[in-house]
A and B are shown apart, each in its own frame.
Chain A
Amino acid sequence: GQQLNQSPQSMFIQEGEDVSMNCTSSSIFNTWLWYKQDPGEGPVLLIALYKAGELTSNGRLTAQFGITRKDSFLNISASIPSDVGIYFCAGHTPAEDMRFGAGTRLTVKP
């Protein structure tokens, strides 16, 4: 239904490597949002996408709204230790309900 499947669940990478994670659904979404959450804190909005096909960058982060409106990906280039955290995708359904993915836990080894 309108659940978001986020993958991978966790990633262990070396500093300097690029990272890619994605979210998919069997239903369409009107917006896609990507958040990062540090331990004990609330999620911080990284990128918001509003149109199918939209590609948006925020520094070393790039995200795209899939043309089918059923998926989105987030890329992080040249990872650094402070990229560590949990990354969540989220989306608004046509009924304006917000759904969240289960998160991708990123670990960056110096």
Chain B
Amino acid sequence: KAGVTQTPRYLIKTRGQQVTLSCSPISGHRSVSWYQQTPGQGLQFLFEYFSETQRNKGNFPGRFSGRQFSNSRSEMNVSTLELGDSALYLCASSPRQSGLEQYFGPGTRLTVT
């Protein structure tokens, strides 16, 4: 089975721009979660989707949003980028509704200049 795939792998954006990241879960997985990883804050939960519905949301500003499509693929969007948004954005999929046993993709490295 193919693993979780994320595109693009690397991205450089300018402050004020917006960005959309994509995640394709493992086939058959319907739960997708997004995380932000930085050296200072570690892994922080952004949101979780199951069957196109957001089940959980972390403590991030409204500039961070996401969605899930009927084929379980997910996108996250960050608007009005700030320098502090530079991070590795990880997507994880799970075969279970509650999102347990999460399998991570390789991440998208976002650099905001």
Asked if A and B are interacting partners, one says yes
Interface residues of A (CB under 8 A from B): 31, 33, 35, 40-45, 48, 50, 88, 90, 92, 96-103
Residues on the A chain within 8 Å of B101, using CB: 33, 45, 48
Nearest CB of A to B59, in Å: 10
Nearest CB of B to A105, in Å: 11
Q: A41-B107, A42-B90, A44-B104 are in contact. Are A98 and B99 (CB under 8 A)?
A: yes
Residues on the A chain within 8 Å of B105, using CB: 42
Residues on the B chain within 8 Å of A98, using CB: 33, 45, 99, 102
Question: Dominant SS at the B interface?
Answer: strand
Please state if A45 and B103 are interface contacts (CB–CB under 8 Å).
Answer: yes
**Interchain CA distance A106-B4 in the complex, whole Å:** 25
Residues on the A chain within 8 Å of B83, using CB: none
Q: Scoring B residues 70 to 113 as 1 if CB is less than 8 Å from chain A, else 0, what string do you get?
A: 00000000000000000000101000001111111111010000
Q: A42-B90, A43-B90, A88-B43 are in contact. Are A96 and B104 (CB under 8 A)?
A: no
Please state if B104 and A100 are interface contacts (CB–CB under 8 Å).
Answer: no
B56 within 8 A of A: yes
Residue of A31, A43, A48 with highest tally of chain B CB at under 10 A: A43
Question: Dominant SS at the A interface?
Answer: strand
CB-contact partner of B42 in A31, A44, A103, under 8 A: A103
Please state if A42 and B4 are interface contacts (CB–CB under 8 Å).
Answer: yes
Please state if A42 and B42 are interface contacts (CB–CB under 8 Å).
Answer: no
Nearest CB of B to A1, in Å: 13
Q: A97-B56, A100-B43 are in contact. Are A45 and B107 (CB under 8 A)?
A: no
CB-contact partner of A45 in B43, B44, B98, B102, under 8 A: B102
10 inter-chain pairs at a CB distance below 8 angstroms, sorted by A residue, are A42-B4, A42-B90, A42-B105, A45-B102, A48-B101, A50-B100, A88-B43, A92-B98, A96-B98, A98-B102
**Interchain CA distance A43-B105 in the complex, whole Å:** 8
**Interchain CA distance A22-B109 in the complex, whole Å:** 29
**Interchain CA distance A90-B104 in the complex, whole Å:** 13
**Interchain CA distance A103-B44 in the complex, whole Å:** 13
